Chains A and B, each alone.
Chain A
Amino acid sequence: MSAIELRNVTKTYLGTTTPAVNNLSLSIEEGSITTLLGPSGCGKSTTLRLIAGFERADAGSILLGGKVMSDTNKWIPPEKRGIGMVFQDYALFPHLNVFKNIGFGYKGNDKSRRIKEIINLVNLDGFEKRFPNELSGGQQQRVALGRALANRPLVVLLDEPFSNLDADLRVQMRIEVQQIIREAGATAIFVSHDQKDALAISDKIVVINNGAVQQIGSPRVIYQFPNNEFVAKFVGQTNILKGIIGKDQISAITDIGQIPCYHNHGHAPGTEVTISIRPDSFELDRSGSIEGTVLSHTYTGESIDVKVSVENSGNKTSILAHMHPEKIVQAGDKVRFRVLPNFVAVIKNE
């Protein structure tokens, strides 16, 4: 059974004509961590608020744990949906201490035992008496997460939970939050516009743009084999090239030469396709089949982003490749590459 199901959900905000969420369908497995990933204004936060019940869908239905929460005739208010939510600015109750914040929604008889359990889970032992304004950003985040988990909700919704943290803490909290959710055995939906957050924490990523799902898949699939140009460009850097499927069916012939391409949706030889090649799949190799001239290079510390102009039967194509940061390159250098097949994918022709 899926913990959450959205069926053809559409939501248009008052005073606008284009829907924020457009005929969106989605099914989320129990116990999984899913990230709704997309640029700001793509409809991901609206989707989350629809699930929580803060917004009402114009069409379609939303089911939590198999029960209808919202459709054309029925609408259950947020307080009766049994969900947990972590807000972007945490929204801790300023007048309550950590202990009372976490216990705010818990109605069971074993209240204080449960709160202690949660405080232990989120590593806040000793902070029970502190008020939100006496906590660091990471601690506030953990209180917010603990508060959301205390009631053993069907599902926890997390709205951009890492966006208020600085870089170091962000990496640490990603790991910690993921761990806590796993330990609690909760089903979680994150909303994020940060691809690194999404790749790091998710079992499944749902890429959304213009209110519609672009691709659903594991982080690895999303990164290696994007479905379309939007996904390819939004999740990481990429090169988009036109090509024709080769006779062997596992390569594509492009302006920069023949490229191995296993992920090709079974297109017949001779089919015109668009392919996405991640910069990581270009590997410097003196005997490589692709030769080009370095146009420009940017040193990032982790790698060198090089722009290379490849000339093939009179056509000049410029590609982006990653080089190991210890290499030294200059504009005008001649370089040779070969292509690793794992980061090459045929994408939808758009």
Chain B
Amino acid sequence: MSEKTNTGSNIRNNNHVSFSGFWLKIWRGNPPGPLLLFISTIIALLMTIPILYVVRQSIGASSSSWARLFNQRVPELLWNTLSLTFAVTAATLLIGVSLAWIVHRTDLPGRKHWKWLLATPLLIPPYIGAVTYIIIFGRSGWVRDLWNSNSFFVSNFGNYSLNIYSFLGVFFVLTMFTYPYIFLIVSAGIKKMNRNYEEAAKSLGLSSFQTFLKVNIPLLRPAIGAGAILVALYVLSDFGAIATLRYVTFTAAIYFQRASFDMASASILSILLIIITMVILSIESRTKKKSKYTQSSNSFKKPSILKLGKWKYPALIYTSLVFFVSVILPLLVLIYWTRIGISMGAIDNRFFGFAFNSLKVSSIAALVSMLLAIPVVYIKSRNPSIISSVIEKLSYMGYALPGVIVALGMIFVFNNHIQFIYGTYFMIILAFIIRFLPQSMQAIDSSLSQLSIRVDEAARVLGYPPWMIMFKVILPNIIPGVLAGGALVFVSAIKELPATLMLRPPGFDTLAVRIYFEANEAIYYLAAPAALLIVLVSVIPLKYMLSKY
């Protein structure tokens, strides 16, 4: 080889080395295959486009619409939303923490069963809960009938005047159906708590109550904080219960602005809601960093059980009452009206049609989510880098933000650019995927994290390239997680209300949509069978949900 060509190839080589050196550096020496990187990047971008579009639209809105909104609607909406969020969070904390403590640390009769019974309100979507309480307390509800038929109440207190369509009504319903988030997370915290700390505190002369305040509560603070943030985010994003009870927060306002085709206002309200959500999310990431207590695990001792003594019955009544109000009573209402519905022929072809629509969009969404989640989780777990964590974070955007915002963004994108899909039920499927893909990702991730990366390496030295390892080793081992993730997405999709309402093509009704409309018109015998069916379907991933916390 002549000297000249030699130099030339060296130069080319150096250029190559410097770029691949940079690339290797980003990926910590372990870059993913180009196809995997491409696919997961596309997925992440798909998850974010609708939300970016909302942001763009709001920036593009005229300053007069900004001014008008800020003068008229925003102060009231802010007050409604924030006061409700605060009140529900505070109330669920009170109920969730106290129940977790009673169930896990005292000799409450039947505590083994209470541990999971008290989590079951999660099976009832809050808008279905709202419907049941409208049936009970509403203007033509059971309590009114009881009240008005009793001359004692009427003569002493006047006619029935309780209004479920109020702040108190929404507050009550959201509290009763979201406290399990806090109950579950705090329960997990209590179970992990090492008895040694309490014994150390007692040995230093603290009383039981002082120990509770100075040792237990601080140790549980990360769990309490995480639970509170989960509930707050839920209240911010809820549309169903709030709209059913005719209260107006940001989500409901966005929905109704869009229904009257005031897209500019809808996008401006959305950006405000996005900001509030982001603030709460940033509080979460900050508390997560701050509050990583290391509890020494090698000397773990189960916490001791407190004797309730004379408090046994008050505690039992309290627990039973919460359970009755949040599970038994709503179920009784649904069963009662379902029986009436069946006798009136509510389970007809129309009903099966709605059920089939629900099944169709939810199962396609679940299947696609299972497939899409795999590459995103894989690249994050096996090729850690700044790029893969950005991919993962982006994929979470649709999950973190309320459904009305995702739906609004999709309307913008598809109405303007991809009209042949706009107005088909694929819009709903896509919205479900964007909203619930992370549930599938979490389930797969917890499966994959149990599979050591050494197992991948073992397969490589035995002669398999990475893409084959994916099929021969990774997939067979994460199948349980993939299925669990699919089930979670399926159930979430069946329950989903706001995006379905906003994106469905005319005449395409699902069970959730029918419940919303029938309840609005007080045709309970048509709403109840669909609601009961949704509750029954929700039982599927219960075991997985309980084990997750």
Contacts and interface: CB of A to CB of B under 8 A. Distances in A.
Interface of A: 13-14, 52-56, 73, 77-85, 87-89, 91-95, 104-105, 107, 147-148, 151, 157
Contact of A83 (B459, B461, B465): B461
B145 interface: no
A14 B28 contact: yes
A92 B461 CA distance: 13
A73 B13 contact: yes
B68 interface: no
A188 to B, nearest CB: 14
A91 B464 contact: no
Given A14-B29, A56-B29, A91 B458 contact: yes
Interface in B437-467: 451-452, 454-455, 457-465
A343 B499 CA distance: 81
A93 B29 contact: no
B281 interface: no
Contact of B463 (A73, A87, A91, A151): A151
Interface in B2-36: 13, 24-25, 28-29
A79 B477 contact: no
A135 to B, nearest CB: 15
B462 to A, nearest CB: 3
A349 B182 CA distance: 66
Interface residues of B, number: 21
Interface in B447-505: 451-452, 454-455, 457-465, 473, 476-477
5 pairs of A and B residues whose beta carbons are closest in the complex = A105-B462, A91-B454, A91-B458, A95-B476, A78-B460
A147 B462 contact: yes
Contacts of A88: 454
A13 B465 CA distance: 24
Interface of A (DSSP majority class) = loop
Contact of A81 (B455, B461, B476): B461
Nearest to B26: A14
Nearest to A103: B462
20 contacts: A14-B25, A14-B29, A54-B460, A55-B29, A77-B465, A79-B465, A82-B463, A84-B461, A85-B461, A87-B454, A91-B454, A92-B455, A92-B458, A93-B455, A94-B451, A104-B462, A105-B461, A105-B462, A105-B463, A157-B461
B473 A93 contact: yes
A200 B481 CA distance: 44
B29 A104 contact: no
A94 B477 contact: yes
A89 B462 contact: no
A39 to B, nearest CB: 22
B451 A87 contact: no
Contacts of A85: 457-458, 461
B107 to A, nearest CB: 36
B464 to A, nearest CB: 6
B458 A79 contact: no
A92 B456 CA distance: 10
Contacts of A14: 24-25, 28-29
B35 to A, nearest CB: 16
B265 to A, nearest CB: 49
A89 B463 contact: no
Contacts of B455: 91-94
A78 B461 CA distance: 5
Nearest to A54: B457
B457 A79 contact: no
B13 to A, nearest CB: 7
